[in-house]
Structure formats: C-alpha cells, structure tokens
Amino acid sequence: MTNIEIRIRNVYNALSNSEKKAADYFLADVESLFHLPIAQLAENAGVSQVAWVRLAKTLGFDGLKNMKRSLFSELNSSAAEDEDKSRFIFTDIKDYAGLPDVFKAVKSGSIQSIEDTVSLLNADVVDAVVTKLIEARSVKLFGVGASALVAEDFYNKLLRIGSNVCFSHDGHIQLTYAANTREGDVCFFISHSGMTKEVNEAFDIASQTANATMISLTRLGKNPLAVKSDYELYTSSPEINHRSGAMSSRISQLIIIDVLFTAMANRDYDNVIQNLIRSSESCRTHRMI
C-alpha cells in the first residue's frame, strides 16, 4: 500500500462528498492518477477538477502534479507485496474461521500498522521533538484508557535515562500537573482519535503557559488535539471498528514511542548509557538469578 493510499484511508471520513468520490476512484485504480489528465480523472470520478486538487491539498501536497510525482516515485521504488493481507486486516473479529485466522489477523494487522506508521514519520518533526524532549525542564505525559498504557511505557523509558518526567493514570492528577506547567516544560498528549475529552481538557489547561511545548500523538487526519499542537506525530492503524480493541493503534503508538526513545538515546548516548547502567544495577538485587 502506498503512502498516499494510507493517508487517504486515514482522512477519508473527514473528506467532503466530492473528495470522497475522487478518493474512491483513486483507491480503485491507483495508477490511473499518472496515466490520465485531470479532466479525464474528474469525468471518470464524476466530480470537478477542483475536487481532485482539494483532495491533493488535504493530503499535504501543493497540487495534483505534486501528488502524481510522489506516487510515481513511490511505485517505482518499492516492491509489490506478494501476500494480500487485507483479507485478514479488514475482517470483523467474529468472522475469523479459527485460531489460524486469528494468528494471521493479529500478525498482519500489527505489521501493517507498523509499516504504515513508519511511512508517515516526518524526520524534521521527529528531530525537533527529540530536541525538545532532551532539553525539557520537565516532560509531562497525558493519556487515558489504552493511550495511558502507551504513556506509561514512555514514562518508564524516560525515567531510566534520567529525564524529569511525570505521569499518572488518574485523570484528576493529570489535570493537576497540567495546571502546574511551567516555561520550558514539554507536554506530550496521546489520543488515538485526538478527540478524547480528558486529554483535550488537560491540553487546554497546560497550553495557558507561555513557552511550554505541546506535542500530540494521534491518528492521521484533522482532529482537535493535532490542530492546536506545536508538533504533531501521526499513527496509522487498520482497525475498522471498536471491536478491534485498540490493538493495532496501540502497536502504532508504541512504535512512535520507541522511535523517540531510541533517537534520544542516540543523540545523547554518553549520558543515556550511564543512566541505563545505573537504573539496571539498582534492580539487580531483586532478580532471582
């Protein structure tokens, strides 16, 4: 699946009706984008030429020509996948025939989520976020439900390398340390939808502090949390409904956390390695062997 297809699937519900028609046509025949002129694309999709241009700009391109160039480059630089994973990824949980299908579905969904999320990473944004995290006076983490598990994982990692970091599963405590945000702090908000009420409330409180950095980790697409952040990190996951239990979205969020942690360790290796050694040694007496 190309990066453009991934982006369309993630923002599809936010598209206008005419943009959805253009998107549907594109998804049904990807290569038609650079084989046909815009007038023919518009006629075939039953929309105006403007709808195609708007779709391209919604996906982050300057226009349709730029979108065509990106697609051409991607199709010619990546090998086609032999296995069709979609049969397992986009199947409702109740429709699996047995454990072999369950095994394949979980594997395929996780792999697809990881590959798609990594393809969305913007090196400049990640570099800036890593710099902010390293230089932060303190790092404050926010997330509820499944996203709280991801926030806790990041909390544990940052503790091990000596970062001044705080996190609590208690939503009221999150509001408390949001209210105590100070200049130089980095506030990191995790919400798959970007619309979680508690996380957005904490954001609004923390953002009242001047010169604090607001970072969001959400799924790709327009959402309240990403729109108002200083830096946005995006994930992609092939979940089709709430019955998937936030499995692939959690995997994609954890991948971003691992990328950030690894980049921080790489950037500040001499200090990080000493902290990792000390934190490991502190627990040594509690091991059975």
Could you state, in order of their start, the residue ranges of all structural domains in the chain? 3-76, 105-285
* 14-66 pLDDT per residue, tens: 899 999 999 999 999 888 887 888 999 999 999 999 999 999 999 889 989 89
Helix/strand/coil (H/E/C) assignment for every residue in 152-179: HHHHHHHHHCCCCEECCCCHHHHHHHHH
CA 212, 149, 190: angle at the middle one, nearest 5? 35
Mean of the per-residue pLDDT values of the chain? 86
3-76 against 105-285: fold identical:
no
pTM of the model: 0.73
Q: What is the mean pLDDT of residues 90-112?
A: 77
* CATH node for 105-285: 3.40.50.10490
Strand partners, 190: 217
Q: Which residue has the higher pLDDT, 10 or 27?
A: 27
* 70-85 pLDDT per residue, tens: 888 877 765 444 444 5
* 267-287 pLDDT per residue, tens: 888 888 888 888 888 877 887
Task: Label residue 108 by pLDDT band (50, 70, 90).
Answer: confident
* CATH node for 3-76: 1.10.10.10
Strand partners, 213: 186
